[in-house]
Amino acid sequence: MQTDTSAAAERNKQPILEELLSVLPHSGQVLEIAAGTGQHAVHFAAALPGVTFTPTDPDADALRSISARRAASGLANIEAPRRLDVLDADWLLPPHFDAVLCINMIHISPPQTTPALFAGADRVLRADGAGLLVLYGPFREGGVHTAPSNAAFDEWLKARDPRFGVRDLDEVSAIAEAQGFGRLRVSRMPANNLLVAFKRL
């Protein structure tokens, strides 16, 4: 079975991991949304053997790539990938997760996926767990792009689909608060990205 590879995921997986090591609990269950090629899941699972990762994606090709990468890794703490679209009314998952991880999704999906992501996370996070939702990607701050490259990327995204675009961190935080999550931490990452951790209130 063939694996797909993302050059950006390969470049950024280690910096993301370094932040996650100080954000995620080192044991428990983590649900990954929009897991793509599976590169992140395998890299993180190898570094966090006490954490079980459940990778998900709505795309059949992505699920095949995750399955192949999981098999090749030999890691026991990655569950079989599941099809999941955040817009589904029911994610068909039990509420046993300590954290939900979503990398590079909200800017390449319609705006309604952001509140759906927080609402879904609220349903699947354990009542007695860490209650974390961690986002990674480009953001505007105060309505302003943080770099010319992000502004150009935003224009490219909107040309591809007018519903896409780099989201404003304050707007995302307001959506999170409306769904019962408070912003816990903002980490500045390479390539003008942010890693933003939210915690269920």
pLDDT in tens, 144-195: 999 999 999 999 999 999 999 999 999 999 999 999 999 999 999 999 999 9
CB atoms within 10 A of CB 111: 14
pTM given for the model: 0.96
* Spans of all domains in the chain: 7-200
Q: How confident is the model at residue 1 (pLDDT cuts 50, 70, 90)?
A: low
Please give the structure tokens belonging to residue 138: 């480009």
Q: How confident is the model at residue 5 (pLDDT cuts 50, 70, 90)?
A: confident
Q: Looking at the predicted structure, is the pLDDT value of residue 196 above 90?
A: yes
Contact between 158 and 165 (Cβ < 8 Å): yes
Find the mean pLDDT for residues 90-113. 98
**Could you tell me which CATH class the domain 7-200 is placed in?**
alpha beta
CA–CA gap between residue 103 and residue 94 (Å, rounded): 22
Look at residue 4 in the predicted model and tell me its pLDDT.
80
Chain CA centroid to CA 29, Å: 14
Q: Given its phi and psi angles, is residue 142 left (phi above 0), alpha (psi -120 to 50 degrees) or beta?
A: left
Look at residue 2 in the predicted model and tell me its pLDDT.
64
Contact between 112 and 143 (Cβ < 8 Å): no
CB atoms within 10 A of CB 164: 18
CA–CA gap between residue 201 and residue 188 (Å, rounded): 23
